[in-house]
Amino acid sequence: MRRFTAIVPIMVVALAAAACGSDDGDNQAADDGPVSLTIATFGEFGYKELYDEYQKLHPNVKITERITKTEDHHKNLAAHLATNTGAADIEALEEGWIGQFTANASKFVDLNELGAGDIKSQWPEWKWNVATSKDGKTIGLGTDVGGMAMCYRVDLFKKAGLPTDRAEVSKLWPTWDQYIETGKKFEAAKVPGAHFFDGPTVMYRSILGQAPVGLYDGDNVVVDSNPEVKKAFDLSALAVTSGLSARAEAWTPAWNAGFAKGTFATLGCPSWMMAYIQTQAKDASGKWDIADVPGGGGNWGGSWLTVPKQSKHQKQAYELAKWLTAPEQQAKVFQKYGNFPSTVTLYEDAVIKDFVNPYFNNAPVGQIFSKSVSTMKPQYLGPKAGDINTQIINGLTRIEQGKQNPDQSWQQVLTDVKALL
Amino acid sequence: MTQLVTDGSAGERLSPRRSLLHRLDVKGSPYLYIAPFFLLFLGFGVFPLIFTAWVSLHEWSLLSDEHPWIGFGNYTALWADPAFWNALWNTASIWVLSTVPQLLMALVLAHILNQRLRGQTFWRMSALVPNITSVAAVAIIFSQLFGRDYGLINWVLGVFGIDKVDWTANSWSSHLAVSLMIIWRWTGYNALIYLAAMQAVPKELYDSASLDGATSFQQLRKITVPAIRPTIIFTVIISSIGGMQVLAEPLLFGGNGLTGGSDRQFQTLALYLYEVAFGRFDFGYASASSWVMFLIIVIVAAINFALTSRLRRS
């Protein structure tokens, strides 16, 4: 019985692959003939309106989007690249995964060969370099960037007797230690049903994202020797052992419900988290606000658009990716959805600088994230960053579950990380 | 076929050509009829098996074009991998916790369904409903029931003054929860198999047992169980194989985390395999572990078979 259930998805994949491979009516040379392009993304890229606009500008192009969950999207792509069939013409890659793919850049079109060098100056150097392999092949064009701020619940802060104005809230926590101190005050007020922060995952990622060197120094994994990693771990562990955590594990139903129910009062906020909060807590407009993040700056997340070599319309796919990642389009996505642009030229532009988000009490999110992104120190995420972070976050969860104390947990993290390498 | 045979018996002499066709038809066509299954099995069963063995002898990253030969390197690494042994232990624990109560309950359920009941078909059909529900739906609903803060089960425990249990945090609680999902899905399925076997037991046996004053439970123990022993053996082997392959339940119970809890406390063999293959894209290592898993299943099935066939003879 159970074995057959495994066969069905394989057959579906095979059929889908066959279906994708069959629409090759035209070849590379014909630029103006009718072309149908597929683009595979995850989460919310905010491109729906842009596709219509592009199709109006280029009547010969027909765009289909495939949206999958982030994890599955990257797993599927790896399988499609390995079997050399089934990938879309444009494949999005997320920051946490791109290292694995640049390490095997030969599966993608080197966009420099299609003239991407001319638009290189749109992006900060680091955004360009992350998508470039060691031998100089650039496989992706930058879409959004995470940046980092701190989201907080105005109503819960009020109940706890803390300031609610975002400038004053920012002053509460110039450092992460002061953030924890504020948390202790919040807990002392015993607001019913609420804790200070959601859980260690987001806090750990926020702190680690502020370090110039994270899990990797060049090709070497430096989890055991880099004080910045230990600092992110220790601070998150301290927040947990101080009893500040709502123990809502990130991306579980309890966490999703927490946004609307108000079970936690603060949460590290990359720009894409704004879109996430708005979908999870539709009716909580005005209850969430945004302040500066402790420690200043930082980054978590952001994506790229790539063109796999197996695409039959590489040139047309590149043209579309180039258009979608151009500053004008990135600004439109930011205003509608909140994903913050990665193109530097925009940060001084009024469309970004003067933009306020009504859901977050008209917070000047354009300014907040411009500041965060322009002061961030780009960090290299190595090919195994995702798995290593899973081990470290598991360690923090063990502390939260009372299974281990911070020292025991860290020792096990070191063993577990070594086992991955 | 019958047509040809009657033709022959009618006395007409068959030409040598026709007789060859006739022989081919009689001898060959049965193989043709079963061929579709074996062709499918060759494509989806045998080929992956052999190819996986080949992959397991290489350092085979899904993303890389080069796959260097490393002999039995993956197997020796697996032998020294605590995560693998941990997964094996978890699988065994969840298998015992789920299979034993599941088959016992299925037996009792089948015995009840075998009585004269009003709305017999309705009850029998309902027994199968949990099994035809998608495993993902079952796992999601059970994860909600076992939720720490808002779960129904903790709420009920609270009524009796018992503290909230963080079900995913501990080995025992998570194994219990995962086992319950498996029990929920497969009890009715096994009950129907038992029921089918029970219907073949002669009614007179029960009638005379009732006359002698045997209780319903005594009848189950002394008449039904010995009579349907081959079926019980079949279900034990099938659930053992299924129990070794548990994947979706622990995967979804852990909120889609591939490690099966913060300390791998409920990561089964299949889930570990999935983590290595699709989390780290290390297909060589994953293939090695799937071959070891295959051998373990063969051994477990063999032990099962030896034990139960001794039972059958006694």
pLDDT tens track, chain A, 421 positions: 333 334 334 433 444 443 443 344 344 444 568 899 999 998 888 898 999 999 999 999 999 999 988 888 998 999 999 888 999 999 999 988 898 899 889 999 999 999 999 999 999 888 999 999 988 999 999 999 988 999 999 999 999 999 999 999 999 999 999 999 999 999 999 999 999 999 999 999 999 999 989 999 988 999 999 999 999 999 999 999 999 999 998 888 889 889 989 999 999 999 889 888 988 888 888 999 999 999 988 889 899 999 999 999 999 999 999 999 999 999 998 888 888 999 888 888 888 888 898 899 999 999 888 888 877 778 888 888 888 999 999 999 999 999 999 999 999 999 999 988 8
Q: Which residues of B touch A100 (CB under 8 A)?
A: 63, 281
Q: Which residues of A touch B188 (CB under 8 A)?
A: none
> What is the number of CB-based contacts under 8 A between chain A and chain B?
72
Domains of chain B: 2-55 (no CATH), 73-313 (1.10.3720.10)
Q: Which residues of A touch B270 (CB under 8 A)?
A: none
Residue A26: count other Cβ atoms within 10 Å of its Cβ: 17
Measure the CA dihedral B229/B230/B231/B233, to 10°: 90
- ipTM of the modeled complex: 0.81
Q: What is the CATH number of the domain that holds A196?
A: 3.40.190.10
Judge whether A355 lies within some domain: no
If asked whether residues A62 and A168 sit together in one domain, one would say no
> In terms of residue numbers, what domain contains A187?
149-298+363-420
Closest-approach residue (CA) in chain B for A388 = B280
In the sheet that holds A340-341, the strands lie side by side as: A61-68, A35-42, A90-94, A302-306, A140-145, A340-341
Judge whether A98 lies within some domain: yes
Q: Are A339 and A323 in contact (CB under 8 A)?
A: no
How close does chain A come to B198, measured CA to CA in Å? 22
Instruction: Check residue A25 and give its pLDDT.
Output: 39
Q: Residue A71 and residue B256: Cβ atoms within 8 Å?
A: yes
Closest-approach residue (CA) in chain A for B243 = A2
Q: For residue A168, what are the contacts with CB-CB under 8 A and spacing of at least 6?
A: none
If asked whether residues A21 and A83 sit together in one domain, one would say yes
Q: Residue B278 and residue A7: Cβ atoms within 8 Å?
A: no
If asked whether residues A253 and A287 sit together in one domain, one would say yes
Q: Are A304 and A131 in contact (CB under 8 A)?
A: yes
Here the tokens at position A385 are 């960053």
If asked whether residues A271 and A321 sit together in one domain, one would say no
Instruction: Check residue B308 and give its pLDDT.
Output: 74
If asked whether residues A173 and A285 sit together in one domain, one would say yes
If asked whether residues A44 and A88 sit together in one domain, one would say yes
pLDDT digits (tens, 9 = 90+) for B71-130: 899 999 999 999 999 999 999 999 999 999 999 999 999 999 988 888 888 988 888 888
Instruction: Check residue B3 and give its pLDDT.
Output: 46
Judge whether A254 lies within some domain: yes
Q: Residue B143 and residue A106: Cβ atoms within 8 Å?
A: no
**Mean pLDDT in consecutive groups of 10 residues from the start of chain B, 314 residues:** 44 69 85 90 91 93 86 93 94 94 94 86 88 88 87 91 89 94 93 93 88 88 88 88 90 84 93 91 93 91 81 67
Q: Which residues of B touch A386 (CB under 8 A)?
A: 279
If asked whether residues A121 and A108 sit together in one domain, one would say yes
Q: Which residues of B touch A252 (CB under 8 A)?
A: 255
How close does chain A come to B18, measured CA to CA in Å? 41
Judge whether A20 lies within some domain: yes
If asked whether residues A265 and A398 sit together in one domain, one would say yes
* The total number of structural domains that make up chain A: 2
Residue A318 identity: Y
**CA nearest to B281, candidates A87, A80, A307:** A80
How close does chain B come to A59, measured CA to CA in Å? 36
> B101 touching A, CB under 8 A?
no
Q: Are A381 and A212 in contact (CB under 8 A)?
A: no
If asked whether residues A217 and A319 sit together in one domain, one would say no
Residue A260 identity: A
Gap between the Cα atoms of B119 and B104, Å rounded: 24
Gap between the Cα atoms of A264 and A244, Å rounded: 9
Q: Residue A100 and residue B147: Cβ atoms within 8 Å?
A: no
Domain final position from A287, A318, A348: A348
If asked whether residues A387 and A341 sit together in one domain, one would say no
Q: Residue A78 and residue B65: Cβ atoms within 8 Å?
A: no
Instruction: Check residue A14 and give its pLDDT.
Output: 42
Domain final position from A348, A378, A412: A348
Judge whether A22 lies within some domain: yes
Judge whether A315 lies within some domain: yes
Here the tokens at position A290 are 């945004």
> B16 touching A, CB under 8 A?
no
Q: For residue B3, what are the contacts with CB-CB under 8 A and spacing of at least 6?
A: none
If asked whether residues A138 and A38 sit together in one domain, one would say yes
Instruction: Check residue A5 and give its pLDDT.
Output: 39
Judge whether A160 lies within some domain: yes
Judge whether A283 lies within some domain: yes
If asked whether residues A240 and A329 sit together in one domain, one would say no
Nearest to B166 among A10, A390, A401 (CB): A401
Here the tokens at position B279 are 């989390």
Rounded alpha-carbon distances, angstroms, from residue B117 to A29, B50, B114, B122, B124: 74, 51, 8, 10, 10
